[in-house]
């Protein structure tokens, strides 16, 4: 099959390969259904980006893309690539501007029937407690430079030290909420300025806090391990490192672009600018990116703390009665040094996940002990009008995708096109008629993020489930949403 002059060969029902041609070092591989190919690649250049990523020095096995693939900066969103530590490189385009944008899932003891009559009040209380919007300031006081540097160093552990996290919260966060080699000292003053008052803020765009109900359970055993049951009220939090992470990316893109020229890399797109992982530029970017990732984990943890307060106040119950517990927190814009088996040899590689999430299998010592019998929770948000999914990682993911899976529905319309399509519609009323209460800082965000702006997440999730990369555990539907 030829799509936009790119050859796609079918390997399995939902797995396609782009042969390595020209200066491609490896083939490209895309997990996607044939129906989605015809729907999504008419005007999107994301396939070309899969080809471009395959030119990176030191790339191993394949340039990969998940079924939520769409065009991004350098890498496609939904792109995964692993580079070896000898001649391999690190590329900010493989992480993105919103460093450690991620999702956390929280369960409660509440059932939908207990919440339905109070949902308007709950959403208003969440909107009051959790700052939203582009320039939003944190609900906690502006951090001193000393405190902010500690956040960048410690991540979620900082929240624990300030009574905004429990030990259980730390345990059920990827990497325990802290990348240990972060170096706050190489984060610019401008980035620090932007982050000082943004701890505990949701931001805008596709970020959200959602109150959901468990609508369907697909795997009773895994659901029980994750603490899920039918009709249960749960919370999804989706945000990242805010202005601080954006600035770190902006600062280091200039450094890495100079390095890319200095080391003589000849790449098809300057947005793929990269530096050898071993170089001073590569190491500095990695350490600054890790600091921004720690900021993001702390940010989601503080938001969870604020959301818990909103619930206890709304329902006038103790934390114990509420049972507000973190299931897991996963990031989906990051580059991490991990061990993976390549050609029957275990190698350390730098795995870039850009709009892709980790999906480690049963038995992995990198996931909480409680989950080792079943595998890592994989959290896949959909859109605010339909549903999201909880899945679980598999051994096949380790074999084929460096332990990676999709991270969401993936955009179907640009923000500009979504605004155009929303003209004349009352989207708040439309959502209310579906039983979804929404509060946002501005109507524009609702229009840009309306449900039809996204692919149907069930199509995306089914590809990964049918290919055995992740397995579906539960489907959840929104009843309350706050956005920027």
Q: Which residues are catalytic?
A: 407
- Contact between 359 and 397 under an 8 Å Cβ cutoff? The reply is yes
Pairing assessment for the beta strands 470-483 and 437-440 based on DSSP bridges: parallel
260-264 long-range contacts, CB within 8 A, separation 24+: none
Q: Tell me the β-bridge partners of 12.
A: 15
User: Among residues 337, 274, 253, 349, which one has the least CA distance to residue 57?
Assistant: 274
Quick one: three-class SS letters along the chain?
CEECCEECEEEECCEEEECCCCCCCCCEEEECCHHHHHHHCCCCCHHHHHHHHCCCCCECCCEEEEEEEECCCCCCEEEEEEEECCCCEECHHHCCCCCCCEEEEEEEEEEHHHHHHHHHHHHHHHHHHCCCCCCCCCCCCCCCHHHHHHHHHHCHHHHHHCCCCCHHHHHCEHHHHCCCCCCHHHCCHHHHHHHCCCCCCCCCCCCEEEEEEEEEECCHHHHHHHCCCCCEEEEEEEECCHHHHHHHHHHHHHHHHHHHHHCCCCCCCHHHCCEECCCHHHHHHHHHHHHHHHHHHHHHHHHHHHHHHHHHHHHCCCHHHHCCEEEEEEECEEEEEEEEEECCEEEEEEEEEECEEECCCCCCCCCCHHHCCCCCEEEECCCCCCCEEEEEECHHHHHHCCCEEECCCCECCCHHHHHHHHCCCCHHHHHHHCCCEEEECCHHHHHHCCHHHECCHHHHHHHHHHCCCEEEEEEEEEEEEEEC
Tokens coding 6 = 């790119």
Is 105 in contact with 371 (CB distance < 8 Å)? no
Residue 190 · residue 251 · CB < 8 Å: yes
The position carrying tokens 């490189």 is: 89
Cα–Cα distance measured from residue 243 to residue 194, given in angstroms and rounded to the nearest whole number: 5
């Amino acid at each position: 099959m030829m799509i936009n002059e790119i050859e796609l060969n079918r390997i399995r029902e939902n797995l396609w390969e782009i042969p390595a041609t020209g200066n491609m070092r490896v083939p490209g591989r895309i997990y996607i259904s044939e129906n989605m190919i015809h729907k999504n690649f008419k005007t999107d250049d994301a396939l070309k980006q899969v080809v471009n990523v395959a030119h990176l020095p030191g790339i191993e096995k394949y340039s990969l893309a998940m079924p939520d693939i769409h065009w991004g900066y350098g890498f496609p969103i939904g792109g995964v690539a692993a580079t070896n530590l000898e001649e391999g490189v690190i590329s900010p385009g493989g992480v993105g501007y919103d460093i450690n944008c991620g999702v956390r899932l929280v369960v409660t003891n509440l059932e939908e029937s207990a919440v339905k009559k109070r949902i308007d009040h709950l959403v208003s209380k969440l909107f009051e407690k959790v700052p939203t919007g582009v320039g939003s300031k944190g609900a906690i006081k502006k951090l001193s430079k000393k405190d902010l540097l500690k956040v960048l160093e410690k991540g979620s552990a900082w929240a624990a030290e300030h009574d905004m996290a429990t030990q259980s919260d730390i345990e059920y966060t990827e990497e325990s909420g802290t990348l240990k080699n972060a170096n706050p000292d190489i984060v610019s003053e401008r980035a620090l300025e932007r982050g000082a008052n943004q701890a505990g803020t949701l931001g805008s765009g596709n970020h959200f806090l959602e109150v959901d109900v468990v609508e369907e359970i697909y795997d009773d055993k895994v659901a029980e391990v994750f603490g899920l049951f039918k009709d249960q009220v749960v919370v999804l939090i989706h945000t990242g490192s805010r202005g601080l992470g954006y600035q770190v990316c902006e600062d280091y893109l200039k450094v890495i672009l100079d390095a890319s020229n200095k080391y003589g890399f000849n790449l098809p797109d300057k947005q793929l600018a990269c530096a050898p992982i071993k170089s001073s530029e590569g190491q500095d970017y990695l350490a600054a990116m890790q600091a921004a990732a720690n900021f993001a984990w702390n940010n989601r943890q503080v938001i969870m703390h604020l959301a818990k307060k909103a619930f206890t106040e709304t329902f006038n119950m103790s934390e114990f009665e509420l049972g507000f517990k973190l299931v897991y927190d996963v990031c989906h814009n990051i580059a991490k040094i991990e061990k993976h088996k390549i050609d029957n040899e275990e190698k350390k590689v730098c795995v870039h996940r850009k709009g892709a999430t980790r999906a480690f299998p049963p038995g992995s010592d990198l996931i909480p002990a409680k989950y080792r019998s079943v595998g890592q929770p994989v959290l896949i948000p959909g859109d605010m009008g339909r549903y999201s999914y909880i899945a679980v990682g598999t051994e096949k993911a380790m074999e084929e995708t460096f332990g990676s899976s999709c991270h969401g529905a993936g955009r179907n319309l640009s923000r500009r096109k979504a605004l155009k399509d929303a003209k004349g519609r009352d989207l708040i009323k439309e959502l209310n008629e579906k039983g979804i209460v929404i509060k946002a800082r501005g109507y524009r965000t609702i229009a840009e993020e309306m449900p039809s702006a996204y692919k149907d997440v069930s199509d995306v999730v089914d590809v990964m489930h049918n290919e055995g990369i992740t397995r579906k555990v539960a489907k959840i539907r929104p009843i309350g949403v706050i956005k920027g």
